[in-house]
């Protein structure tokens, strides 16, 4: 009866009561006709009108179906008939007319064999008890929760283990059925695109099936050998809807150069790592660390594009423009927050000062004086007599407690002629006054953007750190600076001027170089602040900017379609060449070219993009 499932309840009851289950069955029930509509037996005017509209709507199909019984069928009708006959040969229990209608009519609408619709009809009409048990406890439908093994076992009065065995056995048979249906004549797997969540949902919408994206990805990877499946089907289909694993389809040709499974596992690891502060990383940089060396630029761009699709499908909340964002997921305990404050201010602090700082920085923390006094549980902190003040225990071991890492490094280098040394030598000197000295931390401290006192030098392919303005002979080659360094307070002045003028903080991408540079300066300075790299005066300035203008820290809105078009045109106008294939402008053009060819752009966008394609063709 699903042939008539779009009719009203009244019309469906009339068809059911009179045992009408096909288009042909309606003909004997036509009682008469007027100039405007047909009369049907046992029907009022309203129901007759509804049935008449259905008949006229399917008139072309009726002619198509009748012509299928005659010899000499040609063209698309013959192909459609053959496809349905192939489908029915696979499952003999399918009623011919309803299946013929749904599949053949959809075939004529789309211009290709509706594989997922055919598969869905097979699921609906299969009355095998074990097979239906497998479907009920498999997560293959969108917006529909699956039944547990316990629920199925209670209903069928068998054990959970027996249900699990049946599910596994039937799923293997179902796998074979999917492959078998894909052998239908004139079927083209290449008609399906599994590149994005949008495409997957579009498949379900076009063929009017309720399958979820995971199921569609799995099927496409079975029927199209150009795709490789990433993920475990058992974890995707046999888990609850909330804990199901996401499946991905990636081009096999790219898997020779890149391990997409390793990429996904790496992202999962980063998400689960304990993190006190938000971390942002460029997607291209992240992918580049995992990519094999023999990958050319074009292939690398395609790999980055697939990784972006994976992030947008599986982790949409973590991808923003060209960056992966790993949010903070932990907060340090109060004793360790107190330690961070002492290192930042580089002097003893009393309870009131610590309470004020913690309350301003962590409004939801609401620390108390007793919690601050409990900070001495941290072995790095000691109480100073009875003054309610606290200091770092390492400060009591040397009269150098107020000296920063930069001061110690500068003191050591000034004792040398010329004033250069390896990182290991500098760290060995600092270790005399500081505990747990780490090379990476010292190097980041000395070469920070805010600090122009130190510079990298090279001699015989060996790296040194020396004073920027020191008298160093020509044997040591000074590293070239990509940009001239600015004084810290000059950058602060420029940053504050920008914020006041624009009522926001600088953005990182798709902006001019000056704004991007201010963004890097501020975010790097926040990192140096956390690592105790900045001086007291510099730290105070960064804290002032954060507290004064923190409410203006807003996320950049997504760039509109027209803005991307303007950027693309501006590039080819100024450079008389196309943007590089790895650039965001070219990625926008490539994506919209597919949408243009598929007729998915708005009329205004279609007109603009058609003109743009002519310009691109002339340049190419």
73 pLDDT more than 80: no
pLDDT in tens, 214-231: 999 999 998 888 899 999
CA 113 – CA 92 distance, rounded (Å): 19
pLDDT score of 212: 92
Q: Which residues contact 35 (CB under 8 A, 6 or more apart)?
A: none
CA 405 – CA 433 distance, rounded (Å): 9
Q: Put residue 221 in one of left, alpha, beta given phi > 0 → left and psi -120 to 50 → alpha.
A: alpha
481 pLDDT more than 60: no
pLDDT score of 497: 92
What is the DSSP secondary structure assignment for residue 476, as one 8-state letter? S
CA 352 – CA 127 distance, rounded (Å): 75
pLDDT score of 282: 92
Report the mean per-residue pLDDT for the chain: 77
pLDDT score of 537: 80
Query: How many Cα neighbours within 13 Å face the side chain of 199?
Result: 19
% of the chain at pLDDT higher than 70: 77
pLDDT score of 55: 59
Sheet of 349-350: strand order equals 349-350, 389-392, 381-384
527 pLDDT more than 90: no
Q: Which of 21-30, 473-482, 537-546, 573-582 has the highest mean pLDDT?
A: 537-546
CA 141 – CA 214 distance, rounded (Å): 9
152 pLDDT more than 80: yes
Query: Residue 504: which pLDDT band, with cuts at 50, 70 and 90?
Result: confident
What is the DSSP secondary structure assignment for residue 182, as one 8-state letter? T
Query: Residue 543: which pLDDT band, with cuts at 50, 70 and 90?
Result: confident
% of the chain at pLDDT higher than 90: 13
pLDDT in tens, 399-458: 444 456 787 888 888 888 888 999 889 988 887 766 567 787 788 778 764 567 888 888
Residues 552-577, mean pLDDT to the nearest whole number: 78
pLDDT score of 159: 92
Please answer whether residues 554 and 507 qualify as being in contact, where contact means their C-beta atoms are separated by less than 8 angstroms. no
Query: Residue 66: which pLDDT band, with cuts at 50, 70 and 90?
Result: very low
Residues 247-274, mean pLDDT to the nearest whole number: 90
pLDDT score of 54: 63
């Amino acid at each position: 009866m699903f042939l008539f499932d779009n009719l009203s309840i009244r019309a469906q009851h009339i068809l059911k009561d009179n045992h009408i289950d096909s288009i042909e069955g309606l003909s004997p029930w036509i009682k008469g006709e007027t100039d405007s509509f047909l009369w049907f037996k046992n029907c009022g005017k309203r129901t007759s009108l509804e049935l008449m509209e259905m008949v006229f709507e399917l008139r072309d199909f009726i002619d198509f179906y009748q012509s299928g019984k005659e010899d000499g069928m040609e063209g698309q009708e013959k192909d459609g008939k053959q496809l349905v006959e192939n489908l029915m040969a696979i499952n003999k229990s399918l009623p011919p007319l309803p299946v013929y209608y749904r599949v053949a009519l959809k075939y004529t609408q789309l211009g290709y064999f509706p594989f997922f619709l055919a598969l869905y009809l097979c699921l609906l009409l299969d009355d095998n008890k074990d097979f239906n048990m497998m479907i009920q406890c498999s997560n293959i439908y969108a917006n529909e929760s699956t039944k547990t093994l316990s629920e199925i076992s209670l209903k069928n009065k068998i054990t959970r283990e027996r249900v699990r065995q049946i599910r596994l056995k039937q799923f293997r048979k179902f796998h074979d059925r999917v492959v078998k249906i894909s052998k239908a004549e004139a079927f083209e797997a290449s008609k399906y695109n599994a590149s994005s969540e949008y495409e997957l949902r579009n498949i379900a919408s076009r063929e009017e099936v309720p399958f979820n994206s995971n199921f569609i990805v799995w099927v496409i990877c079975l029927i199209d050998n150009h795709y490789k499946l990433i993920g475990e089907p058992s974890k995707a289909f046999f888990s609850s809807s909330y804990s199901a694993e996401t499946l991905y389809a990636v081009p096999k040709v790219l898997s020779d150069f890149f391990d997409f499974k390793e990429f996904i596992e790496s992202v999962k690891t980063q998400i689960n790592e304990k993190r006190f502060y938000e971390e942002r990383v460029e997607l291209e940089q992240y992918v580049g660390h995992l990519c094999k060396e023999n990958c050319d630029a074009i292939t690398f761009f395609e790999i980055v594009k697939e990784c972006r699709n994976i992030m947008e499908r599986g982790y949409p909340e973590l991808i923003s423009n060209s960056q992966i964002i790993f949010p903070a997921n932990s907060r340090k305990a109060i004793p360790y927050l107190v330690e961070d404050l002492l290192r930042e201010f580089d002097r003893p602090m009393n309870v009131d000062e610590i309470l004020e700082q913690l309350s301003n920085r962590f409004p939801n923390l609401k620390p108390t004086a007793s919690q601050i006094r409990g900070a001495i549980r941290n072995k790095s902190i000691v109480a100073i007599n009875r003054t309610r003040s606290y200091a770092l225990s390492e400060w009591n071991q040397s009269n150098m407690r107020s000296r920063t890492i930069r001061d110690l490094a500068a003191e050591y280098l000034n004792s040398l002629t010329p004033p250069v040394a390896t990182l290991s030598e500098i760290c060995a000197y600092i270790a005399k006054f500081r505990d747990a000295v780490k090379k990476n931390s010292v190097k980041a401290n000395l070469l920070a953007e805010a600090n122009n006192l130190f510079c990298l030098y090279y001699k015989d392919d060996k790296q040194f750190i020396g004073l920027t303005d020191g008298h160093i002979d020509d044997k040591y080659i000074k590293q070239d600076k990509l940009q001239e360094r600015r004084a810290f307070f000059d950058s602060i002045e420029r940053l504050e001027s920008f914020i006041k003028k624009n009522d926001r903080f600088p953005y990182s991408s798709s902006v001019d170089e000056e704004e991007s540079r201010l963004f890097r300066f501020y975010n790097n300075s926040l990192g140096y602040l956390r690592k105790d790299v900045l001086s007291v005066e510099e730290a105070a300035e960064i804290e002032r900017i954060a507290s004064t203008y923190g409410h203006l820290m807003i996320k950049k809105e997504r760039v509109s379609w027209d803005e991307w078009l303007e950027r693309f045109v501006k590039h080819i106008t100024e450079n008389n060449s196309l943007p590089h294939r790895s650039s965001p402008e070219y990625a926008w053009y490539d994506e919209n070219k597919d949408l243009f060819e598929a007729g998915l752009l708005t009329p205004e966008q279609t007109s603009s993009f058609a003109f743009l394609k002519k310009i691109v063709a002339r340049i190419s």
